[in-house]
Copies of this chain bind each other. A is one copy, B any other.
């Protein structure tokens, strides 16, 4: 059962303003809900699930208080869903707290300058998780990491990768001595580079790249060599390629 005010509340969470105020985000579909309940059961606020899904996932739900489980009909789920085709279960979760912008310790991080597309944003967070990246530092004009589409395309990685939204120029100035590697079309070829020991890999906006003021603060420009035919690569694909070449495998850092 679901009330009108619940529907209204959940729909309001489609807007960043309300997500920020409430510190809540939405995740949908069996795959991502499985991931989140496994990784972060305490963050669950409420789950709206079909009775079929709830029966099939009794083991997963064992440690979830009954008061947090709301069985709904598929037609009710349709009214809540942000997906083109609603998918058995939708959950509200508490947003993890943002990272502090100081006390930045050396390791390998990712910095995103104006990534606009929520799908790219989520895919990049999933990549950061795959390569064990420490944290993702986002400019304030990046797509919101907790938008429904971003959560979806992160495939659950959103709760495992520490995130910070901040003024990048100020961040770089305050955290002196950072080595910044700028993804660029005319830099050092990544296949001729050693793996990084520490540093920040900087990815720019999908069409404009890294803004000049930030690029000017970067230590080095790095490039994915290609055949020279396509003009560019998708921002998430470029991030994946850069990290796969530059980030040491876990355990290989000493």
Contact = CB atoms under 8 A, between A and B. Distances in A.
Interface of A: 31, 35, 119, 123, 126-127, 129-132, 153, 155-157, 160, 190-191, 207, 224-234, 236-241, 244-245, 249-250
Contacts of A240: 233-234, 237-238, 240-241
Contacts of A234: 123, 126-127, 153, 236, 240
A116 B129 CA distance: 24
Nearest to A245: B244
A129 B227 contact: yes
A237 B123 contact: yes
A225 B250 CA distance: 9
A235 to B, nearest CB: 10
Please tell me how many copies of the chain the complex holds. 2
A155 B206 CA distance: 12
Nearest to A251: B227
Nearest to A236: B237
A129 B250 contact: no
Nearest to A124: B237
Contacts of A156: 230-231
A203 to B, nearest CB: 13
